[in-house]
Amino acid sequence: MTALLETRGVWQRFGGLIANSDVSISVGRGEIVGLIGPNGAGKSTLFNLIAGVLPPTQGSIIFDGEDVTNLPAAARCQRGIGRTFQVVKSFETMTVIDNVIVGALVRNTVMREARRKAHEVLEFTGLAARADVLASDLVPAEKRRLEVARALATEPKLLLLDEVLTGLTPTEAQTGVALVRKVRETGVTVLMVEHVMEIVMPLVDRAIVLDLGKVLAEGKPSDVVRDPNVIKAYLGDRHAVGA
Amino acid sequence: MDKQFVERRRRDLITAAGLAAVAAIVPLFVKDVYVQNIMVLTLMYAALSQSWNILSGYCGQISLGHALYFGLGAYTTALLFTKFGVLPWFGMIAGGLISAAIAMALGYPCFRLGGHYFAIATIVIAEIGLLLIQNWDWAGAALGIDIPVRGDSWLKFQFTRSKLPYFYFALVLACVAWFVTWWLEDSKWGYWWRAVKDNPQAAESLGVVVFNSKMGAAAVSAFLVAVGGSFYAQFVSYIDPGSVMGFQFSLLMALPAVLGGIGTLWGPMLGAVILIPITELTRSYIGGSGRGVDLIVYGALIVLIALARPEGLVGLFSRRRKEATR
């Protein structure tokens, strides 16, 4: 079976800085894949390249058998790539339900259908009670949830989650984990950037570790955390010897 | 599941119909021509501000150059009529289409500008338009165009004996602008525009083509404003560059919306009903040496509203907004 998403030799340079160098990863259908790595490893850049915020300097991105390298973000969303933002970007002057309707309009041209879909998604993500509240009045955990809801309303095949579990209380994070599992059960593939190891490791099927813009390791979470290179990247040489 | 929402939309529609009906019978009791004149202008500015609100309020692209489209509407109608004998009704449509086309042509480069830079560009472009017309001999240059008046006629849309036909047309215009906004508010475009205003990057990630959304808003907005300009040309029957394309028109379209509530359905109407009579009254009572007092008055109003209720006067009526305010 072909992968849902593939990046082939992707490079991204910002002036003299190389944010991604020769990154080739693939994400299979129905997987939950974690993209991890220390700060500045190039995770967010890779995310933006996949979502279409900017085109890569070099290399190509294949989604669902199609080369989407030169497509803008909106076109990628229409093809089935949904995303959340690390720094939440709610539509602050709009209500929660209206926020989600914007996403639902991608696949529903009739307003009533879009509205129904949005309500369905709010129910699914546990935000139904907050439907008529302005997005600016949500607490941070709810805003993260809204990000997910909005992206889900576009009915993505691939959902890119950018640190949705970061900065939450342990209880909130656990509800978040449950939500991600639920999303996968509906057949959506998930690629997530995450910092909180103890939460993300049990959740993902596979982990890809980036460091200094390169793929450092890839595999089952339990293997990846024992990889000497990974430990070195996170904790420095001294600790790697002990492993 | 959305009874409340449907209910609110219906209530808006019924309220609007009721207000329009009340407005329609007012001239039967108010015979004073001066007051009627103010009512015509109030309705016209309500329509203009409502149209401005589509691009600048809903879509968030603040334009301070809408006088350009107002002037284009006025000039297209007047020129087509005086030079080619084309009836104003067709001139109105032509003016609207030309303005929409120009709004999109200008939007093509300008919508790449962010925030304040866009607003500045609109001011500059409108000034350029004003200068071009001022120096265009065929279009009357600085002298303007005198629209020959040959007696009352609906066909030629000119009336000498009564202001009532103008009043009713202005009322229809205001209703149309309101209704278009009402209708767009619960459409794909309405949601896209608000999303673009709040966060273009997030909008883009949800499949909204930001650039096209702005273009659509600009076209609709410019079209409606140009129709208003056409109407104005017929109403005053003499136009010159300064009197239809001056910067004050750009302001007079923006201010009612800002006062009443920018990006809201009722804001421009409410703002125009308060602001325009005040402007006209101060102008005639403290006019002459006190030129500019009207500007001082609404400058003060805007400052007050900015301090007391930044979301505009409609905030006083909206329960949801109040609950939401922390």
Residues A137 and B61: their CA atoms lie apart, in Å, by 24
Q: Which residues in chain A have their CB less than 8 angstroms from residue B187's CB? A: 111
Closest CA to B18 of B260, B187, B269: B269
Which run of H or E residues covers position A155? none
Could A102 and B192 be called an inter-chain contact, meaning their C-beta atoms sit closer than 8 Å?
A: yes
A53 contacts chain B (CB < 8 A): yes
Asked if residue A114 belongs to a domain, the reply is: no
Could A105 and B4 be called an inter-chain contact, meaning their C-beta atoms sit closer than 8 Å?
A: no
Best B59, B196, B206, B265 member to test A by mutation, with max A CBs in 10 Å, is B206
The pLDDT, as a whole number, for residue B184 is: 95
Q: Which residues in chain B have their CB less than 8 angstroms from residue A109's CB? A: 188
Residues B172 and B25: their CA atoms lie apart, in Å, by 13
The pLDDT, as a whole number, for residue A38 is: 84
Domains of chain B: 3-324 (1.10.3470)
Of B206, B263, B326, the CB nearest to A137: B326
Of A85, A109, A136, the CB nearest to B202: A85
Asked if residue A159 belongs to a domain, the reply is: yes
CA A183, A188, A191, A197 dihedral sign is: positive
Could B1 and A92 be called an inter-chain contact, meaning their C-beta atoms sit closer than 8 Å?
A: no
* CB proximity under 8 Å: B 243-282 to A: 263
Of B2, B201, B206, the CB nearest to A106: B206
A98 contacts chain B (CB < 8 A): yes
User: What tens digit of pLDDT does each residue of A224-243 get?
Assistant: 888 888 888 877 776 655 54
- Find how far residue A238's CA is from the centre of its chain: 32
The pLDDT, as a whole number, for residue A6 is: 93
pLDDT band, residue B321 (cuts 50/70/90): very low
Q: How far is B117 from chain A (nearest CA, A)?
A: 22
Q: Which residues in chain B have their CB less than 8 angstroms from residue A53's CB? A: 201, 204-205
**How many domains is chain A built from?**
1
User: What tens digit of pLDDT does each residue of B104-156 get?
Assistant: 999 999 988 877 899 999 999 999 999 999 899 888 888 888 888 877 777 77
Of B187, B205, B326, the CB nearest to A73: B205
Spans of chain A below 50 pLDDT: 243
Minimal Cα distance from B6: which residue of A? A112
Mean pLDDT of B33-51: 94
Could B207 and A154 be called an inter-chain contact, meaning their C-beta atoms sit closer than 8 Å?
A: yes
pLDDT band, residue B323 (cuts 50/70/90): very low
Asked if residue A137 belongs to a domain, the reply is: no
* CB proximity under 8 Å: A 122-141 to B: 132-134, 136-137
- Contacts of A138-145 with CB under 8 Å at 24 or more apart are A138/A90, A138/A96, A140/A88, A140/A167, A140/A168, A141/A168, A141/A169, A141/A172, A143/A88, A143/A90, A144/A84, A144/A88, A144/A168, A144/A176, A145/A176, A145/A179
Of B4, B186, B199, the CB nearest to A91: B199
Asked if residue A147 belongs to a domain, the reply is: no
Mean pLDDT of B217-231: 96
The residue segments making up the domain with residue A57 are 5-90+152-242
Asked if residue A128 belongs to a domain, the reply is: no
Mean pLDDT of B58-84: 93
Of B186, B206, B320, the CB nearest to A102: B206
**The tokens of A192 are what?**
């997530």
User: What tens digit of pLDDT does each residue of B302-311 get?
Assistant: 788 778 777 7
Could you identify the residue written with the tokens 């509203």? B305
A185 contacts chain B (CB < 8 A): no
Closest CA to B159 of B249, B23, B33: B33
Give how far Cα A126 sits from Cα of A95, A130, B29, Å.
15, 9, 57
**Total Cβ atoms within 10 A of residue B187:** 13
Could A154 and B206 be called an inter-chain contact, meaning their C-beta atoms sit closer than 8 Å?
A: yes
Residues 6+ apart with CB under 8 A from B116: none
Could A89 and B320 be called an inter-chain contact, meaning their C-beta atoms sit closer than 8 Å?
A: no
Across chain B, mean pLDDT equals 88
Side chain identity, residue B89: W
SS3 state of residue A189: strand
Asked if residue A216 belongs to a domain, the reply is: yes
Asked if residue A143 belongs to a domain, the reply is: no
The pLDDT, as a whole number, for residue B326 is: 36
Asked if residue A16 belongs to a domain, the reply is: yes
Say if CB B111 and CB B118 are below 8 A apart.
Answer: yes
More confident residue, B279 or B286: B279
Supply the CATH number for residue A163's domain.
3.40.50.300
Q: What percent of chain A has pLDDT over 90?
A: 67
Say if CB A164 and CB A134 are below 8 A apart.
Answer: no
Q: What percent of chain B has pLDDT over 70?
A: 95
Say what the pTM is.
0.90
